Structure 1
């Protein structure tokens, strides 16, 4: 069942699958005959226990998470993990960060509070992920943001670190949009509010051997070993966000597209959506994306108008056309279309049609 809702291109909190929203609405007052909303349940009760168990099981299945990785459902968001990760993994030593945009730059700045941070490489204004990294053999870990939400830069293949130093990846804005090569990862983290659910929950995937090294100053509720030992229940978890995320996991598992199902279907649909939008931008003399095609994000597509004096007109006309939240981040300006998992192909088609019409009238 669908409706005539506008297409929401917000970068996060972001659009959710309409079937999930409808199920949440239907279960709001009474979850499965329990007489309670999920928001009213005890996190220690059997009802929520079944929700948490199913969510973790489905997430592990979708992403093929190996048995030697723990999945933690935490609070604090991706920004909070910029502190929580070094408090757990740095051991007060060295951390190398590859800067590919705004978020990895923030990660480096925060980690400096707890470790000796080196910028191993910096994208600068090149629009291309640098190939030459100055990595230290004795670093506690290497940090990369595999999809930069603001800048529209994405790693389409994870690096293979020759040093054996653990790789930490911030996957906040493309988690569940594609598979993850876990053989190259020590820890992955991401906020839920892009592809998975409402704000308030962060998912952490941490390899067993990286547990148990938290600094003394690390709060117990953010100590990965403690959280893992208590199955994400050391403190009250973000119960409603976990519930909605679980419904999204079920939606992804059941999705069919281009003869594929589940995560493979989501990935193919994301590839097709991104190709359609970038193709329209590249064919235009009016709109411009400055990121090299080798590392363009499938999730977040920033673009500039030929004349930025038309920005407000563009946004007003887009809103009237049912295309919402296209304003770019204040640090880079212009526009940004976030085309996460829940954005249907029809939404991108509508945006492309609007771009062509706008250029014809204002170009």
Structure 2
């Protein structure tokens, strides 16, 4: 059942349904007292420090290209309506809807925990991915600087990492990224979902505008940082027609690789996405959902390994064929090579004896 809520200014979700693990369900409804021409309400962002015991998390998914990752934040103020991380907020007793983008958790001890983990005698370096769940450069990072502190630790340890974002705030850390790229220790992925400012603002209300992301690609690659552009998610009937244009603009800005992911609608996201379509794009809502089901075997989503990122059937196959053709046409075929794990060193601490026989 679709819940009703007054539209919230600068937020992506249109409702805040109770998390799936809660014993009591709260549902908003239209009581007829809200004026049709009322100004959208505002919703303040709440920040909570999270006490973590470890900062590096691991996965064994065959669909992602990394096993070790760091996520400085839970929840994301960007408010992307399609975000696959939304359902995880239910584990916190919160809603994957508006709570996900307004009730955020941050890890103030991230840098200290990372340094402790990297300093363990049994630690063996492998590249770490930053931002595999929520964006490490969301707006609160400007003040909290947790991602910056994590990269500073990786820099001191000569530890390889990759990072993905849709924020131009990454340019704040260009000094570290350029230095580490020169040592083959880092690479960046920038997500560009649309070149249409109105569609981008609708889908990703607090993320950087498309031209800012393209400029970030230009400045990163100009400083020697290898960049891959991610066209994710690719939504049939909504933004899929922009695939070639996005890849072309990214290539012109200096990107050397590209990737894409078909729209994923697991758990609560399917309802949140439908609500958003019906309010922001009512003329396309039925067509978009029909095309989504056509590439998901008649369902809103199929979580099978090997299918969830690309979809299947004629729609999925056409999407993949178009991507490969555009990738080749614009020279975005460079695959990420291995980052250098052999530079890794635990830096000496104050008072440590100098190794006379070291490098």
TM-score bracket for the superposition, by shorter chain length: under 0.3
**Where is the strand percentage greater, Structure 1 or Structure 2?**
1
Tell me the TM-score normalized by structure 1.
Answer: 0.27
**Where is the helix percentage greater, Structure 1 or Structure 2?**
1
User: More relative contact order in 1 or in 2 (CA 8 Å, sep 6+)?
Assistant: 1
